[in-house]
Structure 1
Amino acid sequence: MQKTGCIWLCIALTMLLAGCAGFGGDIPAQISDTRQTIVFEATGQIGRPYRYGGTTPDGFDCSGLTRYVYAQAGVSLPRSTREQHDAGRTIKISQAQPGDLLFYRFGRSGGNVDHVAIYLGNGEAVHAPATGRTVIVASVGDPWWEKRFVNAVRVIP
């Protein structure tokens, strides 16, 4: 694991143990083991390369990252961003908990979702953003991401 990944993993663990406040609401003091595993696995991928169609730590695209991370927690997700969007129920961003999926649209309005990220809590998410970049943590409230946000989806209880 890269040094940056270890730092984010420690931050995520601290946030979870402290029962931190979420982006728009409170996160329960104790979240499920599944959600904890998702957060730990997601932060462990920070710095991994982006690869279109990638589904392993050798290189991820956004839906490959979410599918891989969820699988490490024993949760099966479909492969495509659109299928992942349809696999759960839509929730308000203020209800998002660590491990929920956040969906974005990069294309013109009215199109389908074309990007997915994993919500970490505390207003941050893990993304596999684009060719030439690596897996990152970004603020949900960052204007660039906020402008493209579509909705949040809960796949796990």
Structure 2
Amino acid sequence: MKKIALALLLVITFSSCNSSKTMVTTKSSTIKSESHPIKQVSNLILPTQVNSIEQLPVDLTPISLTMKSEIPKPSENRAHRIIDYAFAFDGVRYKRGGTTKDGMDCSGLVVTTFDKENISLPRSSRDMALTGNSIDLKQVSTGDLLFFATRKNSKTISHVGIVTTARDGFVEFIHASTSNGVIVSNMAEKYWYFAFVQARRVI
């Protein structure tokens, strides 16, 4: 009888130890899991794992920036449109009083091209020289007017042209000459250099 009682006591003691051990193991496992929460993060993308911008979880595509460029003044745009239109008459023969491609005189060319931009000017070069503002030849720019005295032994203005190019002392102008019609000439040419009277800006 004593042997049976002793055997039962040993069984109960062994069972209690196993249960306690199991609980401790479970608790240890839980604590271990809670002390390393980073193992539960499976969707984290590290920099070393990214091969291209498209793989990033957010849109980091570079934004296109527009460089600020210098915008021409309205008067500069207007001047270039006038010059472009004047060149449409390049090669047209000279015709006194003419304002079309059938024939042009110097003031007719100026009046016609400026009228395209709704700028009204007198019909004669002499009256035209009284409009706008007088400027130094060194300060002329595209669209300015150049006036000349082409009659022998006279300082009276009788001719006009439109500046097409002006840079570093180099000045070209389009005009209707009596001998060659509508052409481009240079202020460096001796004839025009000595015939020059004044420059004016009307734009």
TM-score (norm 1): 0.75
Which residue in the other structure is 1:127 paired with?
A: 175
Task: Return the alpha-carbon distance in structure 2 between the equivalents of residues 70 and 129 of structure 1.
Answer: 18
Aligned residues: 128
What residue identity is the alignment partner of 1:129?
S
For residue 57 of structure 1, report the CA deviation from its aligned partner.
2.1
Q: Which has more radius of gyration?
A: 2
Aligned residue for 1:138? 185
Identity across matched positions, percent: 35
SS at match of 2:123: coil
Unaligned runs of at least 5 residues, structure 1 = 1-27
2: CA distance, partners of 1:135 / 1:29:
31
Cα separation, 2, equivalents of 1:29 and 1:91 = 24
**Where does residue 155 of structure 1 map in the other structure?**
202
User: Once the 2 structures are TM-superposed, how far is the Cα of residue 30 of structure 1 from its aligned partner?
Assistant: 3.1
CA-to-aligned-CA distance 1:53-97 (integer Å, 9 cap, x gap): 112222110000000010112211110111110012211011111
Please report how far the alpha carbon of residue 110 of structure 1 lies from its aligned counterpart in structure 2 after TM superposition.
5.1
Equivalent residue for 1:100? 144
Cα 1:114–1:29 shift into 2, 3 Å: farther
Higher deviation after alignment, 69-78 or 107-116: 107-116
Alpha-carbon distance between aligned partners in 1 of 2:82 and 2:188, rounded to the nearest angstrom: 21
- In the alignment, structure 1 residue 76 sits paired with structure 2 residue 124: no
Residue 158 of structure 2 is aligned with which of 79, 92, 114?
Answer: 114
Specify which structure has the higher proportion of helix: 2
Matched, 1:38 2:82: yes
> What amino acid is the match of 2:193?
E
Distance, in Å, in 2 between the alignment partners of 1:58 and 1:107 is 25
Could you tell me how far 1:147 is from its partner in structure 2? 1.1
Q: Which has the higher contact order (CA 8 A, sep 6+)?
A: 1
Please give the secondary structure, in 2, of the residue aligned with 1:138: strand
**Distance of aligned partners of 1:144 and 1:111 in 2 relative to their CA distance in 1, 3 Å threshold:** closer
- Could you tell me which runs of 5 or more consecutive residues in structure 2 were left unpaired when the two chains were aligned: 1-69
* CA gap 1:108/1:58 in 2 versus in 1, 3 angstroms: same
Report the counterpart of residue 61 of structure 1 in structure 2: 105
